Amino acid sequence: MDWLLAPIDPARAHDVGVAVSWHARSMVLAWGVLAPLAVLIARFFKILPGQDWPRELDSQLWWRSHWIGQVAVAAISVAGLVLVLPSERGAMTLHNWLGFGLLALMLVQVLLGAFRGSKGGPSDPARDGTPRGHHYDMTPWRLAFEALHKTLGYGALALAVVVILTGLWKANAPVWMWGALAVWWALLVVAFITLQRRGMAIDTYQAIWGDGAEHPGNQMPAPGWGVRRPGDTRRESADNVRNDRGDGVRSH
């Protein structure tokens, strides 16, 4: 117990004020817990277990969880920054520079979300009554948004790990804090790998609008690494069944 409570560097004291301690708690909650959870839910729960897809479309759980989670991350990050701004003036360290870089990435993500374009589709038609929309039509703007949003999002998570670790070192945090974060992050990695192997990373487009050929986005490949299009799998299975039946007929 004494070892767990001792600072990671025995040569230095773990002596931080109230503002710094609450700054650390805020940022770990925002970037170590909420941000990765919001990403996991958005990637792997677009079609829920037990959902009768494609009869049941456009589950909003992933979207609400991702949106609310990231808004909470932004709000907590601003509060955490305000806590230490008065005491950190003129004391810029690697942790500070990386932290400001992370907040800059967060701001870019907020702006991207605000200007991602219209949704469109049968449930959200344009003013002229047509299903036109940046997302439904998968316009170049939407394609660019998705590529940039995902790349910056995963990049922000990676940078957040470095920022948190440098913050722990700067504060000479106790051993138990390092261990708790290591276990938590390991669980997140295991969950990511498990859900990915189960094929739960589903194309957003088909999760929302189904796999009908009348939807323009279904004429394009799935965007993003490791993303599965269940409609394509269904069509391939149906084609294989038809081919097998044809071979059977020809063999007779």
> Cα-flanking dihedrals φ and ψ of residue 34, to 5°?
-70, -45
d(CA 168, CA 86): 20
Residue that wins the pLDDT comparison between 85 and 160: 160
- Please identify which residue in the block is written with the tokens 């290591």: 182
Q: How large is the average pLDDT for residues 66-74?
A: 97
Query: What's the full length of the chain, in residues?
Result: 252
What confidence category does residue 89 fall into, taking pLDDT thresholds of 50, 70 and 90? low
CA 38 vs CA 65, 80, 101, 102: distances in Å: 6, 19, 20, 17
Class of domain 2-251: mainly alpha
pLDDT, averaged across the chain? 90
| The pLDDT of residue 252 is above 70 | no
Q: What is the pLDDT of residue 70?
A: 96
Both tokens assigned to 42: 């958005």
For residue range 104-150, list pLDDT tens digits in order: 999 999 999 999 999 999 988 888 889 999 999 999 999 999 999 99
Q: What is the pLDDT of residue 202?
A: 95
Residues 6+ apart with CB under 8 A from 191: 40
- Please identify which residue in the block is written with the tokens 């277990």: 49
Q: How large is the average pLDDT for residues 173-179?
A: 95
Question: What's the burial of 183, exposed, middle or buried (CB within 10 Å: 0-12/13-18/19+)?
Answer: exposed
Q: What is the pLDDT of residue 87?
A: 67
| The pLDDT of residue 234 is above 80 | no
Both tokens assigned to 250: 């020809």
Q: How large is the average pLDDT for residues 32-38?
A: 97
For residue range 219-232, list pLDDT tens digits in order: 988 778 899 999 87
Any bridge partners for residue 228, and if so which? 202
